[in-house]
Amino acid sequence: MTTTPIVPELPDTKGLQRLDTAHYLHPFTDHAALAQKGARVMVRGDGIYLWDSDGRKALDAMSGLWCVNVGYGRRSITEAVARQMDTLPFYNSFFNTTTIPAVQLAAKLAKIAPAGFNHVFFTGSGSEANDTNVRMVRRYWDLAGQPERTVIISRHNAYHGSTMAGASLGGMSGMHVQGGLPIPGIVHIEQPHYADYGAGMTPEEFGIHAAGWLEERIRELGPDKVAAFIGEPVQGAGGVIIPPSTYWPEIRRICDKYDVLLIADEVITGFGRLGTWFASDLYGMRPDLITFAKGVTSGYVPLGGVLVGDRVADLLIKGGDFNHGFTYSGHPVACAAALENIRILEEEGLVDRVAHDTGPYLQQRFGSLAAHPLVGTADSLGFVAGLTLVRRKAANVHQQVRFDPALGAGMLCRAHMFDNGVIMRAVGDRMIIAPPLVMTRDQVDEMIQKIRFCLDLTLADAM
């Protein structure tokens, strides 16, 4: 038998960039700007590091796109995937059939999920999972005899995906202006962003105040019209916005009061990122539904889904057909990857390590960046962190002076990071990270040193 190489010999970087520009429409990309510089071609990963087609090494402080929790180059995941592909590369779960990895993963997720979650609905991505939430909560209220409860409340600057419903649930104005979003039946309240909206209050007072926006909106709409509230426990793509400790307990109280379902979008925060399997537990959210994706397979193969709490699952199961599903719901290869990924997280104690060792260490080291002349605040929780670039520092966050957005300080800083071997993301002037959970203390030091060096370079540009 002749074997064809899986990866044909690569053309040179310039050749790849020409092909890329000619044929590949990238997500969330200004293609004119991309064509000028050419895309960076990533070819290999190992642990927390990546290499591009020019042989340059980069420390990946973003875990790809918040997903490579167990790091790159895990041969046991490759082997689990190859075994499943050899045995049964695909079968669906429609029409009263199932597959071994899908069953095993559903059972495993029920074990590690918060109490009261015993069922899962699989999708191919986080966006599809949030679309599923919209359909599922409306189906739930139909079956519960309150079909007029259809409205879902979300927050400005939230990110819940890129499908029509996902982007509508999200609160990104740049997405809403393209394509007439949000779709009807989805409304937004303001986010619990202390630096932007909490002047004159302590963070704890502000947490209660911000949760109160939900109660106001429920009353305006009429409680009998509201199906659910959705939120990321910590807003990720919006700039790593960590809510005050009082926020989620107060949201829980309000949802209980008006009998509104609570959806925790844990696409980023699930699978150990905050030092717990799910952030719902960390914050005492007791949600009814949990969206997951990314870290469930560490991004090795696409997979997402909704963990369905007993209240919703019981009624759905009694209610006959739920006319919803995807060809790749419960894809056996993706489920095999997830099972091995979860085994690694457990065996290496990575969730505990983030909670008790590397997470607190990152908090201390990342927090030290707040002393840099360009940094207003630097905060972290578990293995997510963000710092804000400011023109003038002040002890009180509400008295700091921000940069003129036209300067693009965040993008300047990101370019220095990119050129100096560390991958960080810029959201406006907020620089954010979400490193692989395997990062060691020494690697935290290496990352902080690189970030500090690039902040110095940015300072020279910006002042």
Is the CB of 99 or the CB of 157 nearer to ligand PLP?
Answer: 157
Q: Does 131 bind ligand PLP (CB under 6 A)?
A: no
Binding to ligand PLP (CB under 6 A): which residues in 417-456?
Answer: none
- Helix, strand or coil for residue 112? helix
* Rounded-to-integer distance, Cα 25 and Cα 30, Å: 10
Q: Which one of residues 60, 215, 250, 265 is an interface residue with ligand PLP (CB under 6 A)?
A: 265
In whole angstroms, the minimum distance from the beta carbon of 105 to ligand PLP comes to 17
Residue whose entry in the numeric block shows the structure tokens 């002076």: 401
In whole angstroms, the minimum distance from the beta carbon of 132 to ligand PLP comes to 11
Sole window of 120-128, 133-141, 317-325, 360-368 interacting with ligand PLP (rule: CB under 6 A): 120-128
In whole angstroms, the minimum distance from the beta carbon of 120 to ligand PLP comes to 16
Closest CA to 215 of 223, 227, 207: 223
Q: 289 pairs with which residues across the strands?
A: 263, 308
Sole window of 48-56, 184-192, 265-273, 423-431 interacting with ligand PLP (rule: CB under 6 A): 265-273
Q: Does 127 bind ligand PLP (CB under 6 A)?
A: yes
Q: Which one of residues 121, 159, 271, 300 is an interface residue with ligand PLP (CB under 6 A)?
A: 159
* Rounded-to-integer distance, Cα 331 and Cα 301, Å: 10
- Contact between 286 and 108 under an 8 Å Cβ cutoff? The reply is no
Q: Which one of residues 45, 47, 126, 233 is an interface residue with ligand PLP (CB under 6 A)?
A: 126
Is the CB of 93 or the CB of 291 nearer to ligand PLP?
Answer: 291
- Contact between 122 and 303 under an 8 Å Cβ cutoff? The reply is yes
* Rounded-to-integer distance, Cα 52 and Cα 67, Å: 19
Residues 283-322, one symbol each (x = binds ligand PLP by CB under 6 A, - = not), give ----------x----------x------------------
Residue nearest to ligand PLP (CB): 126
Q: Does 237 bind ligand PLP (CB under 6 A)?
A: yes
Q: Token pair of 365, please?
A: 């080291």
Q: Which one of residues 232, 250, 340, 429 is an interface residue with ligand PLP (CB under 6 A)?
A: 232
* Rounded-to-integer distance, Cα 68 and Cα 279, Å: 18
- Tell me how crowded residue 32 is: count the other CB atoms within 10 A of its CB: 7
* Rounded-to-integer distance, Cα 224 and Cα 228, Å: 11
Q: Does 125 bind ligand PLP (CB under 6 A)?
A: yes
Stated as kind and residue range, the H or E segment containing 219 is: helix 203-221
Stated as kind and residue range, the H or E segment containing 154 is: strand 151-155
Q: Does 329 bind ligand PLP (CB under 6 A)?
A: no
Sole window of 48-56, 86-94, 154-162, 273-281 interacting with ligand PLP (rule: CB under 6 A): 154-162
The sign of the CA dihedral 84, 86, 88, 89 is positive
Helices (H) and strands (E) in the chain, counts: 18, 15
Q: Which one of residues 47, 161, 207, 239 is an interface residue with ligand PLP (CB under 6 A)?
A: 161
In whole angstroms, the minimum distance from the beta carbon of 275 to ligand PLP comes to 18
The sign of the CA dihedral 444, 449, 454, 456 is positive
Sole window of 44-52, 70-78, 231-239, 355-363 interacting with ligand PLP (rule: CB under 6 A): 231-239
- Helix, strand or coil for residue 184? coil
* β-bridge pairing 57-60 and 49-52: antiparallel
In whole angstroms, the minimum distance from the beta carbon of 152 to ligand PLP comes to 14
Q: Does 279 bind ligand PLP (CB under 6 A)?
A: no
Sole window of 119-127, 190-198, 324-332, 416-424 interacting with ligand PLP (rule: CB under 6 A): 119-127
In whole angstroms, the minimum distance from the beta carbon of 12 to ligand PLP comes to 31
First to last CA, the chain: 64
Q: What is the CA radius of gyration of the chain?
A: 22
In whole angstroms, the minimum distance from the beta carbon of 307 to ligand PLP comes to 14
Binding to ligand PLP (CB under 6 A): which residues in 3-62?
Answer: none
Residue whose entry in the numeric block shows the structure tokens 């590091």: 49
- Contact between 344 and 70 under an 8 Å Cβ cutoff? The reply is yes
Q: Does 267 bind ligand PLP (CB under 6 A)?
A: yes
Q: 42 pairs with which residues across the strands?
A: 52
Q: Which one of residues 139, 160, 331, 430 is an interface residue with ligand PLP (CB under 6 A)?
A: 160
Residue ranges in contact with ligand PLP by CB under 6 A: 125-127, 130, 159-161, 232, 236-237, 265, 267-268, 293, 304
